[in-house]
Amino acid sequence: MANQDHLEKMKMRQNNRNLWHTDLLHTLQADTPYFCFALWCAPCASYLLRKRALYNDMSRYSCCGGYMPCSGRCGESNCPEVCLATEVVCCFGNSVASTRFMLQDEFNIQTTQCDNCIIGFMFCLQQLACICSIIALIAGSDAISEASQILSCAADYVYCTVCACMQTQHKVEMDKRDGMFGPPVMAVPPVQQMSRIDQPFPPSVGYPSQPPYGQPYPAAGYPPPQPPYPQPYPAAGYPPPGYPPSGYAK
């Protein structure tokens, strides 16, 4: 059941609305020094990134970010730093993937097709190298064994490179989160002019002008009072006495 939930969550990440600040192909250009650090000191980079993803609050740490069956069962609450160090050394791939999932879920970042192709190529190359190694072990051929070793070296090189790109991508995204690209640019407000006494009042727009003090607004739904004359005959009956007023012909 838990695995099914994780699979559904991975599918949902493809429909997220946001994108990474930089894709995997341009991480070397985005932060070259950190890419070199992540390439040569990968476990250290993974340790620092996970701690930073948790906002340096290790009380929130869970093994593999809570995405593995062993999460929460490794004594993380007692010694989270030791557990995290063990995770990045013994389960380096899972540590990088867990940090990635945490950032995607927090910032609603989608998994792009380009990233999927690069990560999928890395996994396929590793599986192919493993299969060739098994075939070389069974056949006992020196040529196949040498080919499998070359393929294994290529798979390891691609794995280390892609993991360095992923960790650099995570670092750049958290730099964006923490505002390390500089404060947002604020537009200069428009110039405000002070009103002078000799300036006429602007006409009212959208609202009725306020009546003099002490006179209430007329009741809504009734017309304003009309002058007392000329008064028409009522619709039925006789006219009132004294109609029409003086000055009008009968």
Cα angle value 166/41/28 (rounded, 5°):
40
The average pLDDT across 50-67 equals 89
Number of Cα atoms under 13 Å in the Cβ half of residue 13: 21
The average pLDDT across 120-130 equals 87
Is 235 exposed, middle or buried, given 0-12, 13-18 or 19+ CB atoms closer than 10 A? Answer: exposed
Q: Which amino acid is at 194?
A: M
Residue 212 is predicted with a pLDDT of 45
Residue 232 is predicted with a pLDDT of 54
Distance from the first to the final alpha carbon of the chain: 99
Residue 231 is predicted with a pLDDT of 53
Contact indicator for 167, 174 with CB cutoff of 8 Å:
no
Average pLDDT, the chain: 76
pTM (2 d.p.): 0.66
User: What's the rounded Cα separation, in Å, for the pair 141 and 135?
Assistant: 9
**219 vs 10, residue with greater confidence:** 10
User: What's the rounded Cα separation, in Å, for the pair 85 and 64?
Assistant: 11
**Banded pLDDT at 99 (limits 50, 70, 90):** very high
User: What's the rounded Cα separation, in Å, for the pair 237 and 214?
Assistant: 40
**Cβ neighbour number for residue 20 with a 10 Å cutoff:** 23
100: nearest Cα among 13, 197, 159:
13
Residue 225 has pLDDT above 60, yes or no: no
**Banded pLDDT at 199 (limits 50, 70, 90):** very low
